Structure 1
Amino acid sequence: MQQQNELTAFLDEYISYIRLEKNYSSLTVSEYKHDIEEFYAFLSEEGIVDLANVDYPEARLYVTRLYDRGLSRVTISRKISSIRSLYKFCNARYGMKDHAFQLLHHPKKEQRLPAFFYEKELDALFAACEGDHPKSVRNKAILEMLYATGARVSELVSIKLGDIDNGLGIVKVMGKGRKERYIPFGSFAQQALESYLEISRPLLMKQKKHYSLFVNLRGDPITARGIRHVLDSMMKDAAIQGKVYPHMIRHSFATHLLANGADMRTVQELLGHSQLSSTQVYTHITKEHLRKTYMNTHPRA
């Protein structure tokens, strides 16, 4: 029982660390927590009651079990990262050995390119939120800011009124690892924000008092889940076919910038990527798009 309490304490402390100090999104925190709880269940099945007693054979056995479940390589890689990160945390704070999962190699990732919207699809999205209703005005401002800045949904909901300079067209966002960055935005987003701040937000706020930029219909700060619900509604109204998700707007932001001549380093900075390799995936999208256009239009392709 004591060992079980220790495992729970390690997990609770680690989750607080990645949520508060590392500023991971609520979705990432939830995924990491779920991954570690699954790992704890495996330890219980194997009769292991102490994290420090896990060695390379046990780590390897766990990964084999993940493969046996038919999980994708991306999911398995994330689960390895979750547990590796927990051990790294315990090593830094308590001196616990952390070599077992450090020795594991991540499975080779499937070559899947990020999905993005074509400009005509985005036009349909913007058209879906036209209107004078406070909700429509707010939704248009949300969509304009996501596409104008490439911000993550978790970053958008954390923006405060004081983070916006609408005159200069610049917003400050808090990214992963609590790293701040400043992102410019253009005239379309400026106009949408002005309408939202002057007309929509005061009506939605009612008697509420807080400084969050975007609010829900009750006047409270909107959540990441709320943003996803808003975008889901837009996508249905725009009759966009296929699997769609909010992060596609961020992918579209990067893809369209590179396709129109932006340099890689600038896009990296705007996205808040710590590694250039994270940004380079978008060059594959633009190259593939060029190839398909060529094959579909050249007379002798």
Structure 2
Amino acid sequence: MQDELDDYLHYLRVERGLSDNTIISYHQDLMEFQRYLINDHIDSWKNVDHYTIINYLSNLQKQNKAKNTVVHTVSSLRHFFRYLSGEELIGADPMLQVDTPKSGQYLPQVLTTSEINKLLKAPDVSKKLGVRDRAILEVMYATGLRVSELVNLTLDELHLDMELIQPLGKGDKERIIPIGEVAIDWLKRYINTVRVRLLKGQSSDYVFLNAHGRQLTRQGIWKNLKLYVHKAGIEKNVTPHTLRHSFATHILENGADLRVVQELLGHADISTTQIYTHVSQKRLTEVYRKYHPRA
């Protein structure tokens, strides 16, 4: 069983060109399923039928797994068994008889503009790492970058004279994103006064570096953000993706077109972007009063 799973992961990386994070996500789902099969004394993918899968999904629900976790698991299994069937490693695809459950209604956590301002001011900019972290927060909120895009951002992808950046997103797709003057100012301050000190004579293409002059990691971003959220007195559960959610929500609330937000976020399907249409009641009231003839 492990050989087929390893071959599938290789296929995802080499032939499908999926990102490491996506592959890790699939891998985790499939490894958990494989452990379930082993405990159930099933030692071959050929012996998995749709009853096995339904029982497994029922088991996940009994463990109080979130609806979206179950939905993601079904998606992972569907892609995997489609691959096995296409490679003729199994007979009939058991997932053809398994429906995808509806995902839970999920509204992303969003910071208010007041909370954003407190968070942006949290780093101590009298220290070099404080300048770096202020630049990071400003860039994330100004552009809606994914944390993976931020840590992999290179100097060549900055076009600050044109007020643009050109990150490499999911599926190695490039997109062009405008970046505001405030974020540019902090980015230039970091690059010109701090980054060269962090390098200590080394060289690196990456924009954001750790204290040793090497590429900053996703874990490093998470750790620092947690400290600044606490320092700012924000009690919400804030992750790097919260800044992306806040970026999208705030520009929608201020009148941006959904298609524009889709392009800025790098979503392949606008249905993914539509989750950000949960605009505030204040915004809805303003639009109603402005455009309805009897308002």
User: What RMSD in Å do the two structures reach over aligned CA positions?
Assistant: 2.3
Aligned to 1:13: 7
1:28-177 alignment runs, 5 A limit? 28-93=22-87, 96=90, 99-177=93-171
Contact conserved, 1:157 with 1:221, CA < 8 A, in 2? yes
How far the C-alpha of 1:98 sits from its partner, in A, is: 6.8
Contact conserved, 1:87 with 1:98, CA < 8 A, in 2? no
**Of 24, 42, 46, the match for 2:19:** 24
How far the C-alpha of 1:156 sits from its partner, in A, is: 0.9
AA partner of residue 71 (structure 2): S
Contact conserved, 1:23 with 1:175, CA < 8 A, in 2? no
Tell me the SS of whatever aligns to 2:166.
strand
Contact conserved, 1:88 with 1:98, CA < 8 A, in 2? no
Tell me the SS of whatever aligns to 2:64.
coil
Contact conserved, 1:84 with 1:98, CA < 8 A, in 2? no
Aligned to 1:179: 173
Instruction: Please tell me whether residue 214 in structure 1 is matched to residue 215 in structure 2.
Output: no
**Of 260, 263, 283, the match for 1:269:** 263
Give identity over the alignment, percent: 35
Cα distance in structure 2, aligned partners of 1:18 and 1:153: 22
Contact conserved, 2:46 with 2:89, CA < 8 A, in 1? no
Aligned to 2:220: 226
Q: Deviations over 1:83-126 (max 9, x none)?
A: 22222344455565573224322222222311111000000011
Cα distance in structure 2, aligned partners of 1:97 and 1:142: 51
Cα distance in structure 2, aligned partners of 1:204 and 1:57: 57
1:273-288 alignment runs, 5 A limit? 273-284=267-278, 286-288=279-281
Q: TM-score, normalised by structure 2?
A: 0.89
Q: Deviations over 1:181-205 (max 9, x none)?
A: 1111110111011101101101111
Tell me the SS of whatever aligns to 1:180.
coil
Contact conserved, 2:122 with 2:232, CA < 8 A, in 1? yes
Aligned to 2:292: none
Instruction: Please tell me whether residue 189 in structure 1 is matched to residue 183 in structure 2.
Output: yes
Contact conserved, 1:25 with 1:154, CA < 8 A, in 2? no
Contact conserved, 2:68 with 2:103, CA < 8 A, in 1? yes
Pairs aligned (count): 286
Aligned to 2:290: none
Cα distance in structure 1, aligned partners of 2:215 and 2:103: 37
Change (3 A) 1:141 1:88: farther
How far the C-alpha of 1:216 sits from its partner, in A, is: 0.7
Range that drifts further, 203-212 or 187-196: 203-212
Cα distance in structure 2, aligned partners of 1:164 and 1:205: 18
**Of 229, 240, 246, the match for 2:234:** 240
Range that drifts further, 97-106 or 230-239: 97-106
Tell me the SS of whatever aligns to 2:162.
coil
Q: Deviations over 1:230-278 (max 9, x none)?
A: 2112111111113221111000010011101110101001111111111
Structure 2 unaligned spans of 5+: 287-295
Aligned to 2:194: 200
Aligned to 1:3: none
Q: TM-score, normalised by structure 1?
A: 0.87
Cα distance in structure 2, aligned partners of 1:163 and 1:82: 33
